Amino acid sequence: MHVGMWGLAVIVIVITSWLLYRYLAPQSWKEWTRVGVVQAFIIAFYAEMYGFPLTIYFLARYFGLDLNWGDGGNLWAQLFGTEVAHIVAMVLGYTIVFSGATLVAEGWRRIHRARRQETLMTDGVYARMRHPQYTGLFIIVFGEGVVHWPTIVSLTAFPIIILAYTLLARKEEAQMLEKFGDEYRQYQQRVPMFIPRSVGGQHPRQA
């Protein structure tokens, strides 16, 4: 069904990569290394989805399983083998991806406004979490690579991406502490890094 569609693979990789660099534009060489991890995931994931299903090759060759190559590397399709399961995973996965993309876009919009004004952004989504763009990225990768189309590549890359961006977030926060001092330290104490608290919690105001 999806195997060998290399033209589609290239188109999706280009579009997804453009969105990645549009909304998570690297500011330093260390940020480029983290974005490089996501870029590698995008290329490997969509090359496997639409091109050559490495997951199926690996499982069939080394474990001797009788698998359907027409379903590509989708582990859900191989485990359940029903069209209904595939459709449910696709709808649920894309719903999760859309929510993550919305969070990334909103975080990008607000942080660029703060950079122009040279202020600390703490309102909107930044009142719920300190790194909404990275949280959105995690949600996107989870929705696409774990829920919609899980493969060996996507399941392996997911925790690596989380680790890479957690380390990047900590480095960025050290820079923010140097720039804003106690103002940012108090913000850290009020607002969680990635996972927002309950809706009824107190929202800090923009500094």
Q: What is the pLDDT of residues 65-101, one digit of tens each?
A: 656 655 666 777 777 766 777 788 889 999 999 999 9
**122: Cα separation from own chain's centroid:** 22
Residue with tokens 């060996």: 152
Identify the weakest region by mean pLDDT among 58-62, 143-147, 150-154, 178-182. Answer: 58-62
User: Is the pLDDT higher at 5 or at 206?
Assistant: 5
Q: Give the integer Cα–Cα distance in Å for 146 and 29.
A: 29
Mean pLDDT of 20-47: 80
- pLDDT tens per residue across span 118-151: 788 898 999 999 999 999 999 999 999 999 988 8
Residue with tokens 């189309």: 149
Per 3-state DSSP, the chain is made up of helix, strand and coil in percentages (nearest 5) of 75, 0, 25
Identify the weakest region by mean pLDDT among 65-69, 74-78, 109-113, 202-206. Answer: 202-206
CATH class of this structure's domain 6-190: mainly alpha
CA atoms within 13 A on the CB side of 155: 12
Q: How many residues does the chain have?
A: 207
Tokens coding 117: 């004004």
Q: Count Cβ atoms below 10 Å from residue 55 Cβ, excluding itself.
A: 23
In this prediction, residue 203 has a pLDDT band, given cuts at 50, 70 and 90, of very low
Q: Give the integer Cα–Cα distance in Å for 67 and 57.
A: 9
Q: Give the integer Cα–Cα distance in Å for 49 and 36.
A: 20
Which pLDDT score is estimated for 20? 86
User: Is the pLDDT higher at 147 or at 204?
Assistant: 147
CA atoms within 13 A on the CB side of 153: 25
DSSP annotation of 204 reads P
pLDDT score of 200 more than 50: no
Q: Give the integer Cα–Cα distance in Å for 172 and 195.
A: 17
Which pLDDT score is estimated for 115? 72
Q: Give the integer Cα–Cα distance in Å for 37 and 28.
A: 15
Q: What residues does each domain of the chain span? A: 6-190
pLDDT score of 204 more than 60: no
Mean pLDDT of 111-121: 78
pLDDT score of 172 more than 80: yes
User: Is the pLDDT higher at 115 or at 110?
Assistant: 110
Identify the weakest region by mean pLDDT among 48-57, 153-162, 177-186. Answer: 48-57
